[in-house]
Amino acid sequence: MSCNPAIGGLAKGQMVREIDALGGAMGLVADETALQYRLLNRSKGPAVRGPRCQSDRAGYERAMTARLRAAANLEMVAGEVMEILAVGGRVTGVRLGDGEELAARAVVVTTGTFLNGVIHCGTEIAAGGRFGEPASAGLSDSLRRLGLELGRLKTGTPPRLRCSSIDFSRLERQDGDAEPVAFSYLNPPPQIEQMPCYMTWTNEAVHELLRRNLERAPLYSGQISSTGPRYCPSIETKIVRFAEHGRHQVFLEPEGRESDLVYANGLSTSVPRDVQDAMVRGIEGLEQAEIVRYGYAIEYDYAPPTQLRATLESKAVVGLFLAGQINGTSGYEEAAGQGLLAGANAALGVAGRAWLVLGRDQAYLGVMIDDLVTKGTEEPYRMFTSLAEYRLHLRQDNADRRLTRIGREAGLVDERRLALLEEKEAVMGKIAAALEGARAGGSSLAELLRRPEVTLAGLAAEHEDLARLVAASPAAAEQVEIEIKYAGYLERQARHVAKFRKMEERGIPEDLDYAAIGQLRHEAREKFSRVRPVNLGQASRIAGISQSDVMVVEIYLERRRRGEEGMKN
Amino acid sequence: MNNSDDTIVAVSSPLGSAARAIVRLSGPMALRAALTVFQTPETIEETATWRWWAGTVALAAGGTTAAVPAALWLMRGPRSYTRATIVELHLPGNAAVVEAVVAGLCRAGARAAGPGEFTARAFLNGRLDLAQAEAVMAVISAGGERELAAAQRLLEGRLSDEVRELVGRLRRLAARVELAIDFSEERLPIVSAAEVAAEAGAVRDAVVGLSRRAGQTARGDGEVRVALVGRPNVGKSSLFNRLAGAERALVTPVAGTTRDELRETFVLNGSRVVLSDTAGLDEAVADLRRSDEIYGAARRRTLAALGRADLVLVVAEAGNVIAEESVRSDLGRLLATLAAPAIMVINKCDLAAPDGSGGAATQARAAAGIIAGRGRVVTTSARTGEGLEELRAAMSEALGQGEVDRSAEAPAVAARHRECLELTSEALGRVAELAAGEFDEELAALELREALEALGGITGESSREEVLREIFAGFCIGK
């Protein structure tokens, strides 16, 4: 965790649930180390609810490391990889800084912000991967030699404050949910003592201070030219771009139960230290606050992700997989999802088994990877629920039903998880049957439940059998309720999904020579050649590609197929 | 994205033809969709194929319903052009009837066909053989380009500005709803149900208005435009009269719109042809070398007439095709900028020397050089009528290029636009309904997304990333 001490959020929480459903560790570790739980958008529709928790930063690292140490068949080697070794376009291993070589048939590169990382704090510029840690210097050249193209991105982080130096008494307090919900499908509702967050605001005086010092801010002095995320602007960017706002929100988030650090979410900045000191002390509640670690901006290399297949394997080198910020994403959840899938595919590839690729209709993870490999990204990519076409279907409550069997197939999911899912589905079946079977006032309970004012809890209060089932699995009950209440919309979405699927199933051979399709527009030929879509659906999602372009490819493929058939006969 | 087992619909005969129009459907729902608009007292048997039934289509007009005579042809798959079931509705050649029928079919689940889609299906389903693949791809590719041009034409000026403006408004509305979902933690101004209802309703009204006008545009476009160009005194006017006058009994004359552009309508092979005698060739090519001030208005009119044309007839005089090299090369360049095919007409052949350097063969070669493969060369005499039949045949052939797609293009585009507008207005109606009841941002967002997708279908714009862009541009996001 090099950014905020929190896991999940809108769209991100859904991804954590998906990672968990596939057997990943993120949800489990988040539950182990949570300080506070909130289900965001609780008052809105079920598809857009996102679980989030504040995490114990040091605890998270400890728990994750412990899990890795305990994992069977896993050997950990610490060292800096200087070079990826490959022979004939196929990965053979890595070379470490001390010259040692590790042989491997598959390599997953997850460089975070370390690849040629440069840290900016005011006019101070230093090589580094994050605060106090060296950057990875040699690897970029190695990747380039292997034929990968690299670009540059930027992100930032706010100052960390000493908890005991903050006057919380005047600040708005934000508590966790009264009835918290765990991240992992394996866990019961959490029983922890939750820690609060606090909220304060910047003010005109602080903005004026920042404005006076803009020429010393790397983002405005020309010192940084790479692209940062639009959704996570620095405080100096906010006061410039939204000059009409008299104040901006600052969330004060605890870094841990034992920690005396507080994360000042909303104050991401790279202005010089003296300006950061003055800025913090100009904010209500922070008048005496001590900055333990200053905010900074960081620039790093990434590999534009259209160079990857949907398995996250690079097109240039067989067995070389990339995941996380090196693919232009930002966020722990985005990185974890890619890490899980890249790792799974590296292993599946070596074992000669079927790839694990999720569709846009199956998971946010599928939406993310399809966006990355089909459209690429020019700013750090973050997941939003609005990026998913089938949002109503990709919910946090049904990630297990969407993905756990797929994970089992790929060897990621253990028996216990599968058994829990089957149990939940059995209860769902019973609840649905009970709702269909029982009648009240001439309608079945299922029909009644479709009315906005009727709830499953309300019906259960009057029907004992139902109440027992709901108590047996509240998660199953929630899902039955959602599926009944939103049935019309879900059916409509299912029809869209069926159409989408058909195009996804129309494969395009990898070796297709687009230059040979004379009828394609020049622009289309060029785009197809670069992205090399694997099916007609993906082809149609490439920016600037028209329906006619896809149809020409379709006809060409059919001609080719018949030509080959003719040769066989 | 298209799906090969959708049911598609297209107008497959030239709209505006005096005789009849054919609306063609292909796909599993073809018959069911057709029977939502077509009524017959007869029974259509389960197994019947390659047969037709007489009946009517019902047309709602001004509060009353009129029954228009029609025929339904049924060709069940796999013994059909596309190997899927094909239904044709043969209708009176009236644009309003055709429009209403196509709109009805779209409501019944059919989708307006993309350029070349019938042909593509015929190929994909094994109806056309391997040797025809190249031609099929060419049809689709050219269809795509032509459709763009046709869409441009339908969307000229105000209409297109209005669509863009509405897309912008919908994106801003969608951004505000998405903001309430994806950024609810930011304590930003949350859009109220009343605001959503008001804006969705206002955009919907505008979309309905547009739909009405788009229909009118399409009616104006259900014809084939042929432009005559040539230098003065090459016999353009007599050729014009010959072409138009020969069929005068069949035509409805349309008054010329300007003194500079003479227009006449006649029917050629079932297509309504608007023939316009534009200003002279000199004006047309002059812009390539001379300043705007001298030739401004006349030049613009001529170029506009040529740009709108589906076929250009370049008229020259036998014995004097186009003497100056500079004019010849300018003309070649001008023709190269036009999308339409051209025919070089060498007129006054009755006056030319039968042989020698001014002979017809030499002339024809020089003329062919000018139009460089964009069409044929025909020799005529407007005075005696010689070569006129050949010219008509050449025109038919040139206008028939691309067959189904070519003739159906403008109305097909119009049908697709109307379908888009209708889907937009339906989705917006559901937004307003949601906002009036239990307002659920997530469902409103879903409907707004459908509305945007439908409306964006007209201009070919996608809104997925644009809505996020609106959010980042308009609101201070990020803690």
B136's tokens: 């099929």
Domain ranges of chain A: 81-156+302-387, 414-496, 506-568
Nearest CA to A294 out of A119, A154, A111, A60 is that of A119
Give pLDDT tens digits for A424-466: 999 999 999 999 998 888 889 999 998 888 999 999 999 998 9
Task: State whether residue B186 sits within 8 Å of chain A by CB.
Answer: yes
Proportion of chain B above pLDDT 90, given as a percent: 13
Check if A550 contacts B (Cβ < 8 Å): yes
Task: Compute the Cα dihedral for B467, B468, B470, B476 and give only its sign.
Answer: positive
The answer to whether A44 contacts B130, with C-beta atoms less than 8 Å apart, is no
Model confidence at B150, in pLDDT bands (50, 70, 90)? low
Contact at CB, A551 and B140, closer than 8 angstroms: yes
CB B79 within 8 A of CB B48: no
What element of type H or E holds B147?
helix B133-154
Name the more confident of B14 and B277: B277
- When CB atoms are compared, the residue of A230, A385, A499 closest to B182 is A385
Q: Do B144 and A546 touch (CB under 8 A)?
A: yes
Query: B61-75: per-residue pLDDT in tens?
Result: 666 777 888 889 898
Which of B6, B120, B446 is opposite residue A551, by nearest beta carbon?
B120
Q: Chain centroid to CA B56: how far?
A: 27
> Does B339 touch chain A if contact means CB atoms closer than 8 Å?
no
Q: Are A510 and A407 in contact (CB under 8 A)?
A: no
CATH number of A414-496: 1.10.10.1800
CB interface of A with B, residues 451-490, below 8 Å: 452, 489
Give the mean pLDDT of A341-346.
98
DSSP string across A113-171: T-BT-EEEETTEEEE-SBTTBPPB-SHHHHHHHTT---EEEEEEEPPEEEGGG--GGGS
Quick: pLDDT tens for A28-70. 999 999 999 999 998 888 888 999 999 999 999 999 999 999 9
Residues 6+ apart with CB under 8 A from B339: B145, B146, B149
pLDDT at B411 exceeding the cut of 60:
no
Helical residues (DSSP H) of B42-132, grouped into ranges:
95-107, 117-124
B184-190 contact pairs (CB < 8 A, 24+)? B184/A10, B184/A40, B184/A41, B184/A44, B185/A9, B185/A10, B185/A40, B185/B479, B186/A249, B186/B475, B186/B476, B186/B477, B186/B478, B186/B479, B187/A249, B188/B475, B188/B476, B188/B477
Q: A24-33, A91-100, A332-341, A549-558: lowest mean pLDDT where?
A: A549-558
What is the 3-state secondary structure of A442-490?
Answer: CEEHHHHHCCCCCCHHHHHHHCHHHHHHHHHCHHHHHHHHHHHHCHHHH
User: Could B182 and A503 be called an inter-chain contact, meaning their C-beta atoms sit closer than 8 Å?
Assistant: no
Q: Residue B456: enclosing H or E segment and its boundaries?
A: helix B441-459
- Give the pLDDT mean for A142-170: 96
- Is residue A368 a contact partner of residue A381, using CB atoms and an 8 Å limit? yes
Report the greatest alpha carbon distance in chain B.
89
At the fourth CATH level, the homologous superfamily of domain A81-156+302-387 is: FAD/NAD(P)-binding domain (3.50.50.60)
Strand ranges across the sheet with B64-75: B38-39, B51-61, B64-75, B86-92, B20-26, B8-11, B111-112
* pLDDT score at B362: 66
The answer to whether residue B144 neighbours chain A at the CB level (below 8 Å) is yes
pLDDT at B258: 33
Provide mean pLDDT across the span A212-218.
93
Checking A283-287 for CB contacts under 8 A at 24+ apart, the result is: A283/A200, A283/A201, A283/A202, A283/A203, A283/A206, A283/A250, A284/A170, A284/A171, A284/A200, A284/A201, A284/A203, A285/A166, A285/A167, A285/A168, A285/A170, A285/A171, A285/A198, A285/A200, A285/A252, A286/A161, A286/A166, A286/A167, A286/A200, A287/A167
CATH tag, B8-128: 3.30.1360.120
Using pLDDT thresholds of 50, 70 and 90, give the confidence band for residue B479: low
Closest CA to A369 of A306, A310, A304: A310
Backbone torsions φ then ψ of A288, nearest 5 degrees = -105, 10
For residues A190-205, give the mean pLDDT.
96
Residue A362 near residue A399 (C-beta atoms within 8 A):
no
| Cβ(B275)–Cβ(B265) below 8 Å | yes
Asked if A362 and A406 touch (Cβ cutoff 8 Å), the reply is: yes
Phi, psi (deg, nearest 5) at residue B317: -100, 135
Angle separating helix axes B133-154 and A547-568, nearest 10 degrees? 170
Residue A76 has pLDDT above 60, yes or no: yes
Residue B251 pLDDT exceeds 50? no
pLDDT at B414: 66
Query: Which residue among A45, A232, A555 places its CB closest to the CB of B440?
Result: A45
CATH, domain A506-568, list 3.40.50.300, 3.50.50.60, 1.10.150.570, 3.40.50.2300: 1.10.150.570
Which residues is B58 bridged to in the sheet? B67
Higher pLDDT, A557 or B60: A557
Measure CB to CB from residue B477 to each of A9, A231, A546 and give the nearest one. A231
pLDDT in tens, A347-374: 999 999 999 999 999 999 999 999 999 9
| Interchain proximity A546–B460, CB inside 8 Å | yes
Nearest CA in chain A to B178: A386
Range of lowest pLDDT (A106-115, A180-189, B323-332, B354-363): B354-363
Q: Could you read off the pLDDT of B82-115 as tens digits, one per residue? A: 888 999 998 877 777 887 888 889 888 898 887 7
Domain ranges of chain B: 8-128
Phi, psi of B226 (to 5 degrees): -120, 130
Higher pLDDT, B257 or A375: A375
Work out the mean pLDDT of chain A and round it to a whole number.
94
3-state secondary structure of A226: coil
What are the residues facing B74 on neighbouring strands?
Answer: B51, B87
pTM over 0.95: no
For B19-44, the pLDDT digits (tens) are 667 888 999 999 999 999 999 988 88
Contacts of B96 (CB under 8 A, 6+ apart): B59, B215, B219
Alpha carbon dihedral B287, B290, B292, B296, in 10-degree steps, equals -60
B42 vs chain A: nearest CA distance in angstroms? 34
Q: Which percentage of chain A shows pLDDT scores above 70?
A: 99
- pLDDT at position A172 is 95
**Which among B273, B213, B207, B224 is positioned nearest to B420, based on CA atoms?**
B207
pLDDT digits (tens, 9 = 90+) for B193-224: 889 999 999 999 888 887 776 554 443 344 67
Reduced to 3 states (helix: H, G, I; strand: E, B; else coil), residue B192 is coil
What is the rounded distance in angstroms from the CA atom of residue A539 to the CA atom of residue A549?
A: 9
pLDDT-derived band of residue A269, with 50, 70 and 90 as boundaries?
very high
Nearest-by-Cβ selection for B184 from A41, A241, A520: A41
CB A407, CB A21: distance < 8 Å:
yes
Q: Which of residues 98-117 of B touch A (CB under 8 A)?
A: 114-117
pLDDT digit string, tens, across residues A217-255:
999 988 988 888 888 899 999 999 888 889 999 999 999
Angstrom distance (rounded) from CA A392 to CA B449: 13
> With an 8 Å Cβ cutoff, is A544 touching chain B?
no
Say if CB B183 and CB B471 are below 8 A apart: yes
**CA pair distance A556, B3, nearest whole angstrom:** 17
Q: How far is B9 from chain A (nearest CA, A)?
A: 16
For residue A569, is pLDDT > 80?
no
User: pLDDT by residue (tens digit) across A297-332?
Assistant: 999 999 999 999 999 999 999 999 999 999 999 999
Q: Is there a contact between B231 and B280 (Cβ–Cβ < 8 Å)?
A: yes
Q: How far apart are CA B101 and CA B110, in angstroms?
A: 11
